[in-house]
Amino acid sequence: MKRKYTVPALEKGLAIIEMLARSSVPLGVTDIYEINKIPKSTIFMILTTLEDLKYVQKTNDGKYRLTLRLYNFGMEMLSRLDIRSIARPYMEKLATELRFTVHLAMLENGKASYIEKVKGPGFVQFSTEVGQSFHLHNSGVGKALAAYVPEDSLEQYVEMHGLPAMTEHTITNLDTFRKFLVNVREVGYAIEDEEGEVGIRCLAAPIFDHLGQIYAAISITALRSELPSMTYHEVGMKVRDAALRISEQLGYEGEGQAPTN
Protein backbone atom coordinates (compact mmCIF):
# COMPACT_ATOMS: atom_id res chain seq x y z
CA MET A 1 0.00 0.00 0.00
CA LYS A 2 1.33 3.42 -0.97
CA ARG A 3 1.84 5.76 1.98
CA LYS A 4 -0.57 8.67 2.29
CA TYR A 5 2.15 11.29 2.61
CA THR A 6 4.91 11.37 0.00
CA VAL A 7 7.23 13.94 -1.51
CA PRO A 8 7.19 13.34 -5.29
CA ALA A 9 10.18 15.57 -5.99
CA LEU A 10 12.25 13.69 -3.41
CA GLU A 11 11.16 10.34 -4.85
CA LYS A 12 12.24 11.46 -8.33
CA GLY A 13 15.54 12.81 -7.01
CA LEU A 14 16.36 9.55 -5.25
CA ALA A 15 15.35 7.57 -8.35
CA ILE A 16 17.83 9.61 -10.40
CA ILE A 17 20.56 9.07 -7.81
CA GLU A 18 19.93 5.31 -7.90
CA MET A 19 20.09 5.30 -11.71
CA LEU A 20 23.41 7.14 -11.67
CA ALA A 21 24.73 4.77 -8.99
CA ARG A 22 23.85 1.67 -11.02
CA SER A 23 25.12 3.01 -14.34
CA SER A 24 28.68 2.21 -15.42
CA VAL A 25 28.78 5.41 -17.50
CA PRO A 26 27.58 9.00 -16.93
CA LEU A 27 23.96 9.68 -17.88
CA GLY A 28 22.39 12.68 -19.57
CA VAL A 29 18.92 14.15 -19.23
CA THR A 30 17.69 12.16 -22.25
CA ASP A 31 19.23 8.94 -20.93
CA ILE A 32 17.40 9.32 -17.61
CA TYR A 33 14.15 10.22 -19.37
CA GLU A 34 14.31 7.10 -21.53
CA ILE A 35 14.83 4.92 -18.45
CA ASN A 36 12.30 6.46 -16.07
CA LYS A 37 10.09 8.79 -18.14
CA ILE A 38 10.49 11.60 -15.61
CA PRO A 39 9.80 14.89 -17.44
CA LYS A 40 13.02 16.32 -18.87
CA SER A 41 12.46 19.71 -17.22
CA THR A 42 12.16 17.98 -13.83
CA ILE A 43 15.27 15.90 -14.47
CA PHE A 44 17.24 19.02 -15.37
CA MET A 45 16.14 20.89 -12.23
CA ILE A 46 16.93 17.92 -9.99
CA LEU A 47 20.37 17.41 -11.55
CA THR A 48 21.15 21.11 -11.27
CA THR A 49 20.23 21.06 -7.59
CA LEU A 50 22.27 17.90 -6.98
CA GLU A 51 25.21 19.51 -8.78
CA ASP A 52 24.97 22.65 -6.62
CA LEU A 53 24.96 20.43 -3.53
CA LYS A 54 27.97 18.50 -4.91
CA TYR A 55 26.17 15.13 -5.09
CA VAL A 56 26.68 14.92 -8.86
CA GLN A 57 29.30 16.22 -11.24
CA LYS A 58 28.75 17.33 -14.83
CA THR A 59 31.09 15.83 -17.42
CA ASN A 60 32.60 17.63 -20.39
CA ASP A 61 29.96 16.17 -22.70
CA GLY A 62 27.08 17.44 -20.57
CA LYS A 63 26.24 14.22 -18.76
CA TYR A 64 26.22 13.51 -15.04
CA ARG A 65 27.86 11.11 -12.63
CA LEU A 66 27.77 10.77 -8.85
CA THR A 67 30.51 12.26 -6.72
CA LEU A 68 31.84 10.47 -3.63
CA ARG A 69 29.73 12.62 -1.31
CA LEU A 70 27.11 9.93 -0.66
CA TYR A 71 29.83 7.29 -0.36
CA ASN A 72 31.61 9.36 2.29
CA PHE A 73 28.39 9.76 4.26
CA GLY A 74 27.83 6.02 4.02
CA MET A 75 31.32 5.28 5.26
CA GLU A 76 30.83 7.62 8.22
CA MET A 77 27.64 5.76 9.12
CA LEU A 78 29.32 2.37 8.78
CA SER A 79 32.18 3.49 11.02
CA ARG A 80 29.67 4.23 13.77
CA LEU A 81 27.90 0.89 13.61
CA ASP A 82 28.18 -1.07 16.85
CA ILE A 83 28.05 -4.77 16.02
CA ARG A 84 27.15 -5.63 19.62
CA SER A 85 24.07 -3.39 19.74
CA ILE A 86 23.04 -4.53 16.26
CA ALA A 87 23.40 -8.23 17.07
CA ARG A 88 21.98 -8.16 20.60
CA PRO A 89 18.24 -8.28 19.66
CA TYR A 90 18.82 -11.22 17.32
CA MET A 91 20.89 -12.99 19.97
CA GLU A 92 18.15 -12.50 22.55
CA LYS A 93 15.55 -13.85 20.14
CA LEU A 94 17.66 -16.95 19.46
CA ALA A 95 18.28 -17.51 23.16
CA THR A 96 14.56 -17.23 23.94
CA GLU A 97 13.42 -19.39 21.04
CA LEU A 98 16.04 -22.13 21.27
CA ARG A 99 16.75 -21.85 25.02
CA PHE A 100 20.49 -22.01 24.37
CA THR A 101 23.29 -19.58 25.24
CA VAL A 102 24.24 -17.35 22.31
CA HIS A 103 27.70 -15.91 21.62
CA LEU A 104 29.02 -13.26 19.25
CA ALA A 105 32.68 -13.41 18.26
CA MET A 106 35.20 -11.62 16.07
CA LEU A 107 38.58 -12.67 14.71
CA GLU A 108 41.43 -11.34 16.82
CA ASN A 109 45.07 -12.35 16.56
CA GLY A 110 44.20 -15.60 14.81
CA LYS A 111 41.58 -16.68 17.34
CA ALA A 112 37.84 -16.23 17.84
CA SER A 113 37.16 -13.79 20.67
CA TYR A 114 33.76 -13.43 22.32
CA ILE A 115 32.53 -9.83 22.25
CA GLU A 116 28.95 -10.45 23.44
CA LYS A 117 26.96 -13.15 25.22
CA VAL A 118 23.29 -13.77 25.92
CA LYS A 119 22.58 -16.46 28.49
CA GLY A 120 19.98 -19.06 27.67
CA PRO A 121 16.98 -19.38 29.99
CA GLY A 122 17.77 -23.01 30.79
CA PHE A 123 18.96 -24.35 34.13
CA VAL A 124 22.50 -25.06 32.89
CA GLN A 125 24.67 -21.97 32.42
CA PHE A 126 28.07 -21.84 30.74
CA SER A 127 31.08 -20.12 32.29
CA THR A 128 32.10 -18.41 29.06
CA GLU A 129 32.90 -14.69 29.25
CA VAL A 130 33.19 -11.72 26.93
CA GLY A 131 36.86 -11.37 26.02
CA GLN A 132 37.50 -15.11 26.10
CA SER A 133 39.36 -16.46 23.04
CA PHE A 134 39.17 -19.84 21.32
CA HIS A 135 41.09 -21.66 18.63
CA LEU A 136 39.55 -21.57 15.17
CA HIS A 137 39.58 -25.34 14.65
CA ASN A 138 37.73 -26.46 17.79
CA SER A 139 35.05 -23.81 18.31
CA GLY A 140 31.86 -23.10 16.40
CA VAL A 141 32.52 -19.39 15.97
CA GLY A 142 36.12 -20.14 15.08
CA LYS A 143 35.10 -22.46 12.27
CA ALA A 144 32.53 -19.99 10.94
CA LEU A 145 35.20 -17.28 10.84
CA ALA A 146 37.93 -19.54 9.43
CA ALA A 147 35.72 -20.65 6.53
CA TYR A 148 35.96 -17.16 5.01
CA VAL A 149 39.51 -16.03 5.69
CA PRO A 150 42.09 -16.21 2.88
CA GLU A 151 44.06 -19.46 2.68
CA ASP A 152 47.37 -17.79 3.47
CA SER A 153 45.84 -16.18 6.57
CA LEU A 154 44.46 -19.53 7.70
CA GLU A 155 47.89 -21.12 7.36
CA GLN A 156 49.41 -18.24 9.30
CA TYR A 157 46.91 -18.65 12.15
CA VAL A 158 47.53 -22.40 12.30
CA GLU A 159 51.28 -21.78 12.38
CA MET A 160 50.79 -19.30 15.23
CA HIS A 161 48.49 -21.41 17.40
CA GLY A 162 48.66 -24.95 16.05
CA LEU A 163 45.76 -27.40 16.01
CA PRO A 164 45.86 -28.76 19.57
CA ALA A 165 43.60 -31.65 20.49
CA MET A 166 41.24 -30.56 23.24
CA THR A 167 39.20 -33.78 23.11
CA GLU A 168 39.30 -37.00 21.12
CA HIS A 169 36.91 -35.38 18.61
CA THR A 170 39.09 -32.36 17.77
CA ILE A 171 40.28 -31.90 14.19
CA THR A 172 44.09 -31.81 14.32
CA ASN A 173 44.98 -32.07 10.63
CA LEU A 174 45.04 -28.95 8.43
CA ASP A 175 43.85 -30.73 5.29
CA THR A 176 40.92 -32.22 7.22
CA PHE A 177 40.18 -28.79 8.60
CA ARG A 178 40.19 -27.29 5.10
CA LYS A 179 37.70 -29.91 3.91
CA PHE A 180 35.47 -29.17 6.87
CA LEU A 181 35.50 -25.46 6.01
CA VAL A 182 34.34 -26.23 2.48
CA ASN A 183 31.25 -27.80 4.01
CA VAL A 184 30.70 -24.74 6.20
CA ARG A 185 30.60 -22.56 3.10
CA GLU A 186 28.20 -24.96 1.39
CA VAL A 187 25.61 -25.20 4.19
CA GLY A 188 26.12 -21.77 5.74
CA TYR A 189 26.80 -22.85 9.31
CA ALA A 190 29.51 -24.65 11.28
CA ILE A 191 29.15 -27.62 13.64
CA GLU A 192 31.36 -28.08 16.68
CA ASP A 193 30.62 -31.47 18.22
CA GLU A 194 32.44 -31.94 21.54
CA GLU A 195 35.68 -30.72 19.93
CA GLY A 196 36.44 -28.03 22.49
CA GLU A 197 34.89 -29.67 25.53
CA VAL A 198 33.32 -33.08 26.05
CA GLY A 199 29.55 -32.89 26.33
CA ILE A 200 29.25 -29.48 24.66
CA ARG A 201 28.04 -28.74 21.13
CA CYS A 202 27.92 -25.47 19.20
CA LEU A 203 26.40 -24.34 15.92
CA ALA A 204 27.69 -21.10 14.40
CA ALA A 205 27.18 -18.95 11.33
CA PRO A 206 29.22 -16.18 9.69
CA ILE A 207 28.31 -12.49 9.69
CA PHE A 208 29.38 -10.42 6.67
CA ASP A 209 29.96 -6.69 6.26
CA HIS A 210 28.86 -4.34 3.47
CA LEU A 211 31.68 -5.61 1.25
CA GLY A 212 30.64 -9.24 1.63
CA GLN A 213 33.69 -10.00 3.76
CA ILE A 214 33.69 -11.96 7.00
CA TYR A 215 33.11 -9.65 9.95
CA ALA A 216 31.99 -11.75 12.91
CA ALA A 217 30.21 -14.98 13.83
CA ILE A 218 27.25 -15.91 15.99
CA SER A 219 26.75 -19.26 17.74
CA ILE A 220 24.54 -21.23 20.08
CA THR A 221 26.08 -23.40 22.79
CA ALA A 222 24.27 -26.37 24.29
CA LEU A 223 24.75 -29.59 26.16
CA ARG A 224 25.09 -32.62 23.90
CA SER A 225 21.90 -34.07 25.42
CA GLU A 226 19.94 -30.92 24.56
CA LEU A 227 21.16 -30.65 20.96
CA PRO A 228 20.85 -34.06 19.24
CA SER A 229 22.54 -34.35 15.87
CA MET A 230 19.18 -34.87 14.14
CA THR A 231 18.33 -31.23 14.94
CA TYR A 232 21.56 -29.76 13.57
CA HIS A 233 20.11 -28.55 10.28
CA GLU A 234 16.95 -27.04 11.75
CA VAL A 235 18.85 -25.21 14.47
CA GLY A 236 21.75 -24.37 12.17
CA MET A 237 19.42 -22.67 9.69
CA LYS A 238 17.95 -20.55 12.49
CA VAL A 239 21.44 -19.45 13.52
CA ARG A 240 22.28 -18.81 9.87
CA ASP A 241 19.13 -16.71 9.44
CA ALA A 242 20.00 -14.60 12.49
CA ALA A 243 23.52 -14.09 11.12
CA LEU A 244 22.06 -12.99 7.79
CA ARG A 245 19.74 -10.47 9.45
CA ILE A 246 22.71 -9.01 11.35
CA SER A 247 24.77 -8.94 8.15
CA GLU A 248 22.01 -6.99 6.40
CA GLN A 249 22.09 -4.43 9.21
CA LEU A 250 25.81 -4.00 8.40
CA GLY A 251 24.99 -3.27 4.75
CA TYR A 252 25.46 -6.78 3.38
CA GLU A 253 23.47 -7.37 0.20
CA GLY A 254 24.80 -10.48 -1.47
CA GLU A 255 26.78 -13.66 -1.16
CA GLY A 256 29.65 -13.90 1.28
CA GLN A 257 32.97 -13.90 -0.50
CA ALA A 258 34.86 -17.17 -0.62
CA PRO A 259 38.38 -16.84 0.78
CA THR A 260 41.08 -15.91 -1.69
CA ASN A 261 44.83 -15.65 -1.41
- Predicted confidence at residue 6, as pLDDT, reads 80
Burial 203-214 (b: 16+ CB within 10 A, else e): bbbbbbbbebeb
Q: Quick one: CA dihedral 203, 119, 226, 89, positive or negative?
A: negative
pLDDT, position 245: 96
Residue 194 CB-density burial (10 A; 0-12 exposed, 13-18 middle, 19+ buried):
middle
pLDDT at 76: 74
Q: What is the pLDDT of residues 132-163, one digit of tens each?
A: 889 999 999 999 999 999 999 999 999 999 99
Query: Model-level pTM?
Result: 0.74
All structural domains of the chain, each given as residue ranges with its CATH number in brackets, are 8-77 (1.10.10.10), 81-249 (3.30.450.40)
pLDDT digits (tens, 9 = 90+) for 210-223: 889 999 999 999 99
Average pLDDT over residues 24-35: 94
Residue 74 pLDDT > 60: yes
pLDDT value, residue 257: 57
Instruction: Say how many CA atoms lie within 13 Å of 111 toward its Cβ.
Output: 13
Q: Which pLDDT score, from 0 to 100, does residue 258 have?
A: 56
Per-residue confidence (pLDDT) for residue 132, from 0 to 100: 85
pLDDT in tens, 178-235: 999 999 999 999 999 999 999 999 999 999 998 899 999 999 999 999 999 999 999 9
